[in-house]
Amino acid sequence: MLVSIQNQRMYLQKENSAVKTYVISTSSKNPSCQQDSFGTPWGLHEVSDIIGSDQPLGMVFKARHPIGKCYWECDAQMQEGNLITSRILRLRGLQPGLNCGGVSDTFLRYVYIHGTNHEKKLGKPASSGCLQLSNQDVIELADSIKIGTHLIISLLY
C-alpha cells in the first residue's frame, strides 16, 4: 500500500500495479513522526493488527475495543469528535529512528488506519494523526489484506 499525504489518497497495490484508490484523511497537523505531535508519520510501516472483523459497519472503538454502539447511536457531543469506527488496522513503523523506537514510534503512538464518523471530510487533512477512510472502504481494505502488509506513507508523492 502507498499513502500520499499530499494527495490524500491511499493506493492498494498488487504486483506493482494500483488495484484500488481510496480517498483518505491524514492529520490536520503537519506530518510528524514525533510522539504527542498528532501528525501523520511517514516512511515504511506494516499492518500489525486487524481489529473488528466481527463488528458491523459504524461500530465505535475505544482502546481498540467495540463500545457496543455505532457512531450514529452516540450522543451529539461524542459525534463531534473523530471517532474510530468499523475497523482498526494498527500500524508498526519499520524504520528505527524515524518511525520505530524512542519518541518516534508509530506503534506506541497508536496510529491506525480506521473508519470515521466524518466521511464528508475525507480528501482533506482532518485526523489526529491516523489514516481515516470511509467505513465501507476500511471494511473492504481489512478484508483484502493480511497482517504484515507493508505501507509506505509518502510526504511528496
pLDDT (average), residues 9-16: 90
Q: What is the model's pTM?
A: 0.94
Q: What is the mean pLDDT of residues 92-113?
A: 97
**Domain architecture of the chain: domains with CATH:** 26-149 (2.40.440)
Q: How confident is the model at residue 16 (pLDDT cuts 50, 70, 90)?
A: confident
> How long, in residues, is the chain?
157
Cα–Cα distance for residue pair 111/91, rounded to 1 Å: 6
